[in-house]
């Protein structure tokens, strides 16, 4: 797919009509070889995978289930295989969402996704600061690009994460081992986003991050 790539293959899960060109371009910039697929076995077994996603929670879950991709993603997380979940991808890891009541998420993160309840602009569209907790090792403070109407307000147990303020604090990212979930778009967050993806990829491949 990318003759110039010397780095690892990164499988990008096709979640539907999500625009994944930006994710793919960012991976190429990191020296990886992106491969877009909706094959459950590839998603389950890939050394490195990205779960992107735009559109609605319910529609995305329906598509994942129809292809057996829900089990594939769950399996790879349970097997500690590296996964980067972006935007709706992070929300899909949760249990449920106000966006699609009655639809079960992947249930990997014990959290509910709620609609922004504030006087601020919704969707939150633009650059905001993330503040990681001290225990985070991948996430660092900085500006990231957001585009979303729903968000995780709190998470219980075993997760380190970052919060961001948009009419109140919400969970803007989570990390645990090689699982990184971002409500923002690291692939659209200029140098700070690229640096985060580089750190994650280094951990995912077991190599030290090469500074840019």
Q: Binding residue for other proteins (CB under 8 A) from 5, 155, 194, 202?
A: 194
Write the DSSP symbol of residue 186.
Answer: G
Please say whether the dihedral angle defined by the alpha carbons of residues 196, 117, 113 and 157, taken in this order, is positive or negative.
positive
Tell me whether residue 40 or residue 105 sits nearer to other proteins (CB atom): 105
Q: Return d(Cα 17, Cα 205) in angstroms, integer.
A: 29
Q: Tell whether residue 207 is a contact of other proteins (CB under 8 A).
A: no
Is residue 166 annotated as part of the catalytic site, yes or no? Answer: no
* C-alpha span between 54 and 45 (Å, rounded): 24
Q: What is the 3-state secondary structure (H, E, C) of 146-157?
A: EEECEEECCCCC
Complex with other proteins: residue 21 or 47, whichever CB lies closer? 21
Catalytic residue among 87, 94, 136, 182: 87
Closest of 154, 151, 175 to residue 97, by C-alpha: 151
> Is 140 one of the catalytic residues?
no
State yes or no: residue 172 binds other proteins (CB under 8 A): no
- Residue 65 or 129: the one with the smaller Cβ distance to other proteins is 129
Q: How far is the CB of 165 from other proteins (least distance, A)?
A: 6
Q: Footprint of other proteins on residues 90-119 (CB under 8 A)?
A: none
- Check residue 185 for interaction with other proteins (CB under 8 A): yes
State the catalytic residue, choosing from 9, 95, 187, 212. 187
Shortest distance (Å) from residue 9 CB to other proteins: 19
- Do residues 150 and 99 touch, judged by C-beta distance below 8 A? yes
Is 159 within 8 Å of 169 (Cβ atoms)?
no
d(CA 160, CA 16): 29
- Residue 170 as a binder of other proteins (CB under 8 A): the answer is no
The answer to whether the CB of 94 falls within 8 A of the CB of 78 is no
Tokens of 90: 């992070």
Does the protein bind other proteins through residue 126 (CB under 8 A)?
yes
Residue positions annotated with a catalytic role: 87, 185, 187
Residues binding other proteins (CB under 8 A): 17-19, 21-22, 25-26, 28-29, 54-56, 59, 88, 120-129, 143, 145-149, 165-166, 185, 187-191, 193-194
């Amino acid at each position: 797919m990318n003759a110039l790539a010397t780095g690892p293959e990164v499988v990008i899960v096709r979640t539907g009509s999500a625009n994944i060109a930006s994710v793919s371009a960012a991976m190429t910039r990191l020296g990886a070889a992106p491969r877009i697929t909706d094959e459950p076995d590839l998603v389950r077994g890939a050394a490195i995978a990205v779960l992107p996603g735009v559109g609605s929670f319910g529609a995305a879950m329906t598509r994942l289930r129809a292809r057996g991709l829900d089990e594939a993603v769950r399996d790879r997380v349970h097997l500690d295989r590296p996964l980067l979940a972006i935007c709706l991808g992070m929300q899909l890891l949760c249990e449920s969402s106000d966006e699609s009541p009655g639809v079960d998420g992947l249930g990997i993160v014990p959290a509910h996704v709620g609609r922004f309840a504030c006087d601020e602009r919704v969707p939150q569209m633009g650059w905001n600061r993330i503040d990681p907790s001290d225990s985070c090792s991948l996430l660092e403070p900085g500006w990231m690009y957001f585009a979303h109407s729903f968000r995780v307000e709190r998470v219980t147990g075993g997760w380190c994460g970052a919060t961001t303020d948009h009419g109140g604090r919400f969970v803007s990212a989570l990390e645990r081992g090689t699982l990184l979930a971002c409500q923002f778009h690291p692939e659209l967050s200029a140098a700070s986003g690229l640096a985060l993806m580089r750190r994650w990829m280094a951990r995912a491949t077991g190599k030290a991050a090469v500074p840019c």
